[in-house]
Amino acid sequence: MGPNLEVMRILLPVVIAGGIAVFVVIRVKHKYKIGKLGKKKSKGTPYLLDSLVPLGMMVGCAAAILLSLFFSISLLSTIGLGAGIGLLLGYFAYEIYSKEKENYS
């Protein structure tokens, strides 16, 4: 039972982060194909919009490092999970920020 549990502890963060990455890539590819990627017209917002996903990954890694300092979790697995969760949160922030405002007037 010991080696099987150790293999699961090693592979689970890789599988979770990989699944999140595949989900985000497929969603962005689909939005690109239908032509609905987020576009902002003001001067500085396209740069922020393009930076949300990498910023989410960096914040996720930083949070994972802090989490591994206070709890007895492996640093390597928390960095992988933090980057994957940060990727997902960065994608959601991208989706929310890139939505067009609707006028009901």
Q: What ranges do the domains of the chain cover?
A: 2-98
- Scanning the structure block, which residue is given the tokens 């962005």? 28
Confidence check: pLDDT of 25 > 50: yes
47-93 residue pLDDT tens: 777 788 888 889 999 999 999 999 888 888 888 889 999 999 988 98
Q: Which of 29, 31, 23, 34 is nearest to 98 (CA)?
A: 31
- Kindly state the average pLDDT of the residues 26-33: 88
Q: What is the pTM of this model?
A: 0.79
Residue 99 has pLDDT above 70, yes or no: yes
At 39, the amino acid letter reads K
Is the pLDDT reported for residue 104 higher than 80?
no
Q: Is the dihedral of CA 82, 84, 87, 92 positive or negative?
A: negative
